[in-house]
Amino acid sequence: MRQDLRRKAIEICDRKIAQKGAGVGLSFYAFFANKNDDPELLMEAATWWIEMHQLDHFEKAVKIREMLHAGR
């Protein structure tokens, strides 16, 4: 996953956790606006989420943030 996407995803995880608490779940779609304006970046996130890590559709934001910080 490219660094700018990783950084953005961490920021979004941090924001969601701050707003809704440590139990909040999210999907990789949370990293994007409601419209598909960058399909290549969306596919990169989907590949990381689905193919690389075989994550469920919704995962805890704290888990995703830890994975991203660890460089996984």
In contact, 4 and 63? CB cutoff 8 Å = no
| The model's pTM | 0.89
pLDDT per residue as tens digits for the range 21-43: 999 999 999 999 877 788 999 99
> What does the alpha-carbon distance between residue 24 and residue 71 come to, in Å, rounded to a whole number?
21
**How is residue 50 written in tokens?**
């689905």
> What does the alpha-carbon distance between residue 18 and residue 52 come to, in Å, rounded to a whole number?
27
pLDDT of residue 42: 92
State how many domains the chain has: 1
Residue 23: domain span: 3-69
